């Protein structure tokens, strides 16, 4: 109490100790007086601090199994149940119980598999949760807190259990931030689209995907064709809903580029329909035999392609991405959770409705789930047990954030710092054409040139000047490395690891192709690099040594794209090295299984069979 007093007094707040005994609460007069006392104290801006009057307590049996707190006649046996009792008695708007952990977990908080439960739903969680060891700090572990919280919440006072370690947690709770575990008697009504269902959606998508895989190739093809037809048939309603999103976006004053990406023009819809039909007609990707080996007589091993499972795709603005990704998922036999931007909310909803309407009942329309609430992203990213791959399609910031916060593999790229190196043997006219395209064609693209490296000899024979003039003519703002800024008298860049995404570019002089390679390894993002050179030996050194997802000779970096690479629809471009690298099409959504067919073969310490290891043709 002295500590409370001291700490409140530092804030110029007066506090007042109220010691109560459990028996008191049986007395209606006492309860009335208690309310009055607290009201008076609060009117005087005095904070009441309750505790049990231990010195004169006569209580022996612990409170438990009583008729909860609903009739306010229960007794308490620890500070948690006292708090619950008081919250009800005093008709508190909210009860905050502070713990030594972040809130209620699905299992012992020390177990990495345990997950923080944001919203407690009695029907769901009561039987599911396993509590860890009781906190060593006195009575009132998590079990006691949950009992008190459930009692108070179902009697009408919402409760939040959160950590007392972070000093601003109470303020964050009052601000409505999503921390700790909330207990509310109506929780079962509003958790249907919260974490409960993120998990359920993923499980349903996986189950549907398994049924999708069982279909034969022709049946999957028919789903895609039906999807294309449905998009055509529903074009007017799709455009209507999209028009509403666009109107809202214009009213909100969003920038033109975003509105352009958001708008589903008739030609965009027809091109989408076309690409869905193309995917329908592509060679069946599932069940392809990748390798076939005779291990021993009549023991045949096959490595076959199969879907990854459940994909989570998080995309911004472009509603057409929803259609492309859904088609890719169906083609590759995967379940899908989609999370679109709020600016395309109505467009996404109608597209999702149109697409799922044609999924046959044998598969189930839960194959493709549309997640709508923004706060669900953190919950989704925790589902590493049911989601197999996350594909973020959006800003660098979005991608970096997602990579930083999930254990689910992420396919994508944060930075696209692409280099063009112009060798001394370059055809300067070709180099001008390539750097112009690489920078100007679409400056905001991830495959646009951000850094131009030029062989030192070109700074002496006018080549560099021609290249620089070409870019400046197009209005490109140039920043130099230490050598180039000196030579060209332009501003020096503060970093070589810079993605402008606009009409700007870094220029630097390098001594030769090896210096260029070193520069790229040191400052690049391993996305796409290009060498312009006539000397094929120099070019091959660059192609073989530059360790990026895509390395080009005498061609614009802008070619790094799934469609231009002929992969059909593109999932994204990966700068990761695991699983898929560079532009990713259907292949990146597949994994493999090993199928072994025998007739009673056993290992028996490797004396069971005589290994033959014959490669067999993959077409049986």
Looking only at residues 567 through 596 of this chain, which bind its own copies when binding is defined by CB under 8 A?
A: 577-579, 581-583, 591-596
Complex with its own copies: residue 29 or 602, whichever CB lies closer: 602
Q: Of 475 and 600, which CB lies nearer to its own copies in the complex structure?
A: 600
Please identify, using beta-carbon distances, which residue of 98 and 490 lies nearer to its own copies.
Answer: 98
Number of other residues whose CB lies within 10 A of the CB of residue 619: 6
Name the DSSP letter for residue 67. Answer: S
353 binds its own copies (CB under 8 A): no
Q: Quick one: 198 or 546, whose CB is closer to its own copies?
A: 546
Positions 410 through 469 that interact with its own copies (CB under 8 A): 427, 430, 433-434, 436-438, 441-442
Provide the pairing of β-strand 310-315 with 289-296.
unpaired
Closest distance to its own copies from the beta carbon of 437 (Å): 4
The strand pair at 449-455 and 504-510 is best described as: parallel
Contact 98, 179 (CB under 8 A): no
Angle value at C-alpha 273, between 270 and 279, nearest 5 degrees? 145
**Options 240, 544, 610, 618; binder of its own copies; rule CB under 8 A:** 544
Task: Give the interface segment with its own copies, choosing from 117-125, 184-192, 250-258, 606-614 (CB under 8 A).
Answer: 606-614
Instruction: Kindly give the residue spans of alpha helices, DSSP state H, lying in 56-141.
Output: 79-89, 122-125
576 three-state secondary structure: coil
Tell me how far, at minimum, the Cβ of 388 lies from its own copies, in Å: 5
**Window 550 to 569, contacts with its own copies (CB under 8 A):** 550-556, 558-560, 564-566
Residues 6+ positions from 549 with CB-CB distance below 8 Å: 526, 527, 528, 560, 573, 574, 575, 581, 582
- CA atoms lying within 13 Å on the CB side of residue 99: 27
Query: Interface with its own copies includes 252 (CB under 8 A)?
Result: no
* Pairing state between β 449-455 and 528-532: unpaired
Q: Which residue has the tokens 């502070």?
A: 98
- Residue 164 binding its own copies, by CB under 8 A: no
Q: Is there binding between residue 349 and its own copies (CB under 8 A)? A: no
Q: 397 CB contacts (<8 Å, ≥6 apart)?
A: none
| Residue 44 lies near its own copies (rule: CB under 8 A) | no
Two structure tokens written together for 131: 């509590």
What contacts 568, CB < 8 A, 6 or more positions away? 275, 278, 279, 282, 562, 585, 586
If the CB atoms of residues 44 and 137 are measured against its own copies, the closer one turns out to be 137
268 near its own copies, judged by CB under 8 A: no
> Which stretches within 282-319 are classed as H helix?
none
* 61 contacts its own copies (rule: CB under 8 A): no
**Residues 415 and 447 sit within 8 Å (Cβ to Cβ):** no
- Give yes or no for a contact between 339 and 312, defined as CB atoms under 8 angstroms apart: yes
601 binds its own copies (CB under 8 A): yes
Determine the longest span between alpha carbons in the chain, in angstroms: 101
Write the binding mask 105 to 124 for its own copies: x where contact by CB under 8 A, - elsewhere.
Answer: -------x------------
Between 164 and 482, name the residue whose CB sits nearer to its own copies. Answer: 164
Smallest gap from residue 205 Cβ to its own copies (A) = 14
- 482 vs 608 by CB, closer to its own copies: 608
11 touches its own copies (CB under 8 A) = no
Q: Is 549 in the site for its own copies (CB under 8 A)?
A: yes
495 binds its own copies (CB under 8 A): no
Stretch that binds its own copies, among 3-11, 245-253, 366-374, 451-459 (CB under 8 A): 3-11
Site size for its own copies, by CB under 8 A? 81
Cα 69 to Cα 30, 36, 88, 152, 153, distances in angstroms: 17, 20, 8, 7, 10
The three-state secondary structure class of 20 is strand
Report in angstroms how near the CB of residue 400 gets to its own copies at its nearest: 8
At its nearest, how many Å lie between its own copies and the CB of residue 474? Answer: 13
Q: Is 396 in the site for its own copies (CB under 8 A)?
A: no
- Residue list 214-233, contact with its own copies (CB under 8 A): 214
């Amino acid at each position: 109490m002295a500590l409370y007093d001291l700490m409140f007094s530092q804030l110029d707040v007066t506090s007042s100790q109220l010691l109560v005994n459990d028996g008191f609460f049986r007395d209606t007069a006492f309860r009335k007086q208690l309310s009055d006392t607290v009201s008076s104290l609060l009117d005087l801006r005095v904070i009441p601090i309750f505790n049990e009057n231990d010195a004169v307590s006569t209580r022996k049996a612990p409170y438990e199994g009583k008729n909860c707190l609903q009739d306010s006649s229960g007794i308490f046996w620890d500070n948690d149940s006292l708090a619950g009792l008081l919250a009800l008695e005093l008709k508190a708007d909210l009860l905050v119980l502070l713990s030594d952990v972040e809130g209620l977990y699905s299992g012992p908080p020390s177990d990495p598999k345990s997950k923080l439960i944001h919203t407690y739903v009695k029907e769901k969680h009561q039987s599911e949760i396993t509590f860890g060891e009781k906190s060593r700090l006195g009575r009132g572990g998590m079990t006691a807190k949950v009992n008190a919280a459930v009692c108070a919440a179902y009697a009408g006072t919402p409760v939040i259990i959160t950590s007392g370690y972070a000093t601003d947690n109470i303020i964050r709770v009052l601000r409505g931030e999503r921390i700790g575990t909330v207990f509310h008697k109506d929780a079962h009504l509003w958790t249907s689209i919260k974490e409960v269902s993120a998990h359920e959606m993923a499980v349903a998508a996986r189950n549907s995907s398994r049924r999708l895989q069982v279909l034969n190739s022709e049946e999957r093809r028919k789903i895609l064709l039906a999807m294309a037809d449905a998009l055509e048939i529903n074009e007017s309603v799709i455009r209507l809903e999209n028009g509403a999103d666009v109107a809202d976006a214009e009213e909100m004053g969003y920038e033109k580029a975003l509105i352009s990406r958001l708008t589903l023009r008739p030609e965009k819809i027809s091109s989408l329909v076309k690409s869905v039909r193309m995917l329908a007609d592509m060679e069946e990707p599932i069940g392809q035999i990748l390798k076939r080996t005779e291990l021993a007589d009549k023991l045949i091993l096959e490595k076959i392609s199969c879907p990854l499972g459940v994909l989570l795709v998080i995309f911004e603005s472009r509603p057409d991405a929803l259609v492309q990704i859904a088609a890719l998922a169906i083609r590759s036999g995967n379940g899908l959770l989609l999370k679109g931007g709020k600016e395309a909310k109505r467009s996404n909803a109608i597209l999702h409705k149109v697409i799922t309407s044609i999924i046959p009942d044998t598969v189930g329309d839960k194959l493709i789930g549309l997640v709508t609430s923004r706060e669900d992203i953190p919950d989704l990213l925790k589902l590493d047990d049911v989601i197999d791959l996350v594909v973020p399609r959006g800003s660098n910031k979005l991608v970096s954030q997602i990579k930083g916060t999930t254990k689910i593999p992420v396919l994508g790229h944060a930075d696209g710092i692409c280099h063009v190196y112009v060798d001394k043997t370059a055809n300067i006219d070709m180099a001008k054409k390539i750097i112009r395209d690489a920078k100007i064609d679409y400056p905001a693209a991830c495959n646009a040139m951000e850094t131009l490296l030029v062989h030192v000899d070109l700074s002496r024979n006018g080549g560099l000047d021609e290249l620089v003039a070409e870019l400046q003519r197009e209005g490109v703002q140039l920043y130099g490395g230490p050598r180039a800024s000196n030579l060209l008298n332009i501003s020096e860049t503060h970093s070589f690891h810079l993605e402008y995404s606009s009409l700007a570019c870094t220029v630097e002089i390098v001594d030769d192709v090896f210096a260029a390679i070193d520069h790229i390894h040191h400052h690049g993002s391993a996305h796409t690099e290009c060498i312009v050179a006539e000397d094929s030996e120099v070019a091959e050194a660059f192609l073989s040594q530059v360790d990026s997802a895509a390395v080009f000779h005498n061609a614009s970096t802008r070619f790094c794209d799934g469609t231009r690479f002929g992969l059909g629809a593109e999932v994204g471009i990966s700068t990761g090295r695991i699983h898929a690298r560079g532009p990713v099409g259907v292949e990146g959504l597949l994994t493999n299984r090993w199928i072994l067919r025998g007739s009673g073969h056993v290992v028996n310490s490797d004396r069971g069979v005589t290994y033959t290891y014959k490669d067999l043709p993959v077409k049986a």
